[in-house]
Structure 1
Amino acid sequence: MRITVLLCGFILSGCSHMAQDKWGGQDKAQHFIASAMLSAAGNEYAQHQGLNRDRSAAFGVIFSLSLGASKELWDSRPDGSGWSWKDFAWDVAGATTGYALWQMAHY
């Protein structure tokens, strides 16, 4: 886990520019919904692969957040719209909501 945090810090320090966006809007809803769906799908996939409840939950959330971070990294390139911590915050909220909904549906 420590290595992951350090790696993320290293990668994110190289963002070429930051987005100047707002907290609300259709873009944020899309980040939230996509992250929730990806988290739930990752949970389901991991459970079908034989992982226990805790590991499948971790897999689902990490799967969703890694795709969200990758999208923001893509946006941070010179031709992109810029890294958005607000988008990523909505990704985190969506991933945890997807995890919670999946857990409630299965237990």
Structure 2
Amino acid sequence: MLRPKIKLFLPAVLVLCGSAAVLNCQTSEKTGLSDRWLGRDKLSHFAVSLAAVGLANHWLEAESAEPPVRARNTAVVFSLSLGIVKELQDGAQKGNRFSFKDLAADILGAAAGIVLFTIN
């Protein structure tokens, strides 16, 4: 059965890719560009949220023996909390701003994480 192997490998790959995208990413304020819906930072938000759901769900379900529904719900809350904290931090920085578009990308990434990693 391939599914358990994917549950372990895919989240790790996504975290690495998402981390690389975040490190490469520049905020729209710093580059002088507008906050576009399909900007590079939106892909970073999407990827990190997706990976956070996958990793948190796997850890909670496999390592902590949480029931699947509770693991999924906790993973989603964890992922979205990361996005909210990031946007609050952006809003507090001089020359930067809170972006609802970034939060939308976080929500879409978390939703994709639910589909990929928690629905059997």
**TM-score, with structure 2 as normaliser:** 0.68
Number of residue pairs the alignment of both structures matches: 87
Q: Which secondary structure does the structure 2 equivalent of 1:63 belong to?
A: helix
4+ aligned runs moved over 2 Å, structure 1: none
> Is 1:83 aligned to residue 98 of structure 2?
yes
Determine if the alignment matches structure 1 residue 34 to structure 2 residue 52: no
Please state how far the C-alpha of 1:45 moved relative to its aligned partner. Answer: 1.2
Identity %: 36
Alignment-mate amino acid for residue 28 of structure 1: K
For 1:50, which of 38, 45, 65 is the aligned residue? Answer: 65
Structure-1 residue corresponding to 2:18: none
Q: Give the unaligned 5+ runs of structure 1.
A: 1-18
Cα distance in 2 for residues equivalent to 1:72 and 1:29? 15
1:68-104 residue CA offsets vs partner (Å, 9 max, x unmatched): 0000000001415110000000000001101210024
| Corresponding residue SS for 1:83 | coil
Distance in 1 (CA, whole Å) between partners of 2:87 and 2:50 is: 17
Deviation digits for residues 41-63 of structure 1 (CA, Å, limit 9, x no counterpart): 11011112111110000011111
Tell me if structure 2 keeps the 8 A contact 1:74–1:80: no
Give RMSD over aligned pairs: 1.5
When normalised by structure 1's length, the TM-score is 0.75
The one of the two structures with greater contact order (alpha-carbon pairs below 8 A, sep at least 6) is 1
The 2-side partners of 1:46 and 1:78 are apart by: 33
- Consecutive unaligned residues of structure 2, counting only runs of 5 or more, are 1-28
